[in-house]
Amino acid sequence: MRDFDRELRGLVKSLTATIRAGAGRAGLAAPQIGVPLRVLAFSYEGRSGHLVNPRLELSERRITADEACLSAPGVWWPLERSYLVTARGRDMFGKPVVVRALGVLARVLQHENDHLDGVLFSDHLEADERERFLAAALPSG
């Protein structure tokens, strides 16, 4: 993306407002609201912001923790992710941004960046785990 214009700023504001509007929301990616741009927003424990065209540098240290997705509300599932992330991108004005995060915020950035790449949370699960996750996430009947 090269246009850091009013439309992009509106998108960032919309993503941020959507996160703040719901309890337990920590991040949101533009594709989740039907916008095919590489933009994500995050807000967790007093740290909030956004990244345009993010690139993540992942630590080798990994940790397994429960994770959820707005695509499957109310379903938490254990997933291994890098414990420390350095995310580089731009803000809505085109200024370079670096976000260093560990723990849950690192997990949020990885999760939202996955959405930018068309990867869903469940895509990381082994086939049998994915089946159990989908059974829990999708209403029966």
Q: Which residues are known to be catalytic? A: 112
Nearest C-alpha neighbor of 28 from the set 92, 18, 38: 18
Q: Which alpha helices (H) appear in the chain, and where do they start and end?
A: 6-21, 104-116, 127-137
- Give first-to-last CA distance, the chain, whole Å: 42
Residues 127, 24: Cα–Cα separation, whole Å: 28
User: What are the distances in angstroms from CA 82 to CA 53, 61, 104, 105?
Assistant: 20, 6, 10, 11
